[in-house]
Amino acid sequence: MKRSFVMVIVILAGALLAGIHTATPNPNEKPTTMKAQSENLKKATFAGGCFWCSEADFEKAEGVAEVISGYTGGKKENPTYEEVSSGHSGHIEAILVLYDPATISYRQLLDVFWRHVDPTDPGGQFADRGPQYRTAIFYHDEDQKMQAEESKKQLEASGRFKKPVVTEIVPADKFYSAEDYHQDYYKKNSLRYSMYRQGSGRDQFIRQAWGPAGAPSAGQTSGYAKPGEAELRKRLTPFQYHVT
């Protein structure tokens, strides 16, 4: 669904996009993981629809050291983007957040998550439809589980949404990083990302649900973008993260 949406944007953009250069992925490259080795950092895993958008939103939070786009929740080993986006792999698009708990708490990460998704949509997120784009919180320990469940209850009790909050809270599983061209897509392909983001309806929903303060400003999204159709068809070998 996301691929076809991007193609519509590219067609509408026409000559504007014709001159944009998108780097060819290097099959020997893997997402930066040096920060993951720090004993001071902890892991959090969230699924909020398009991982391009989730990565961009969480990387703005102070105390977040790194965000990795990837796939989790399914049984297929080393899934590719095409397999996951087809909806038949059992995996879901997700992000792995490496954060410093001395600067940002897990509860604060939960607040970032809730403010950037539609937690009432069981069929996907905004323009991206299908179970592979549903929302979920993958907890890494019992404390994360407890905090996630409590924050979900508080959100439901707040009455902010008329529909039930359907976001799943499930144990973290193996996390496979997405192909390299998906990592930091909002930085590498800023214009396409901005057009996709604005066209998806995500920010419009956030502003309606949370007010202007709940959505990224125009300045925050103006430098972001996503790869073209040809690049999305290229695959790299995903790097597997074992999470417990």
Which active-site residues does the annotation give? 50
Task: Give how far the C-alpha of residue 217 lies from the chain's centroid of Cα atoms, to the nearest Å.
Answer: 18
From CA 20, how far away is CA 114, in angstroms rounded? 33
Structure tokens at 45: 């895993």
Phi, psi of 55 (to 5 degrees): -60, -45
CA atoms within 13 A on the CB side of 140: 15
Three-state secondary structure string covering 3-46: HHHHHHHHHHHCHHHHCCCCCCCCCCCCCCCHHHHCCCCEEEEE
The residue to which tokens 């398009």 are assigned? 50
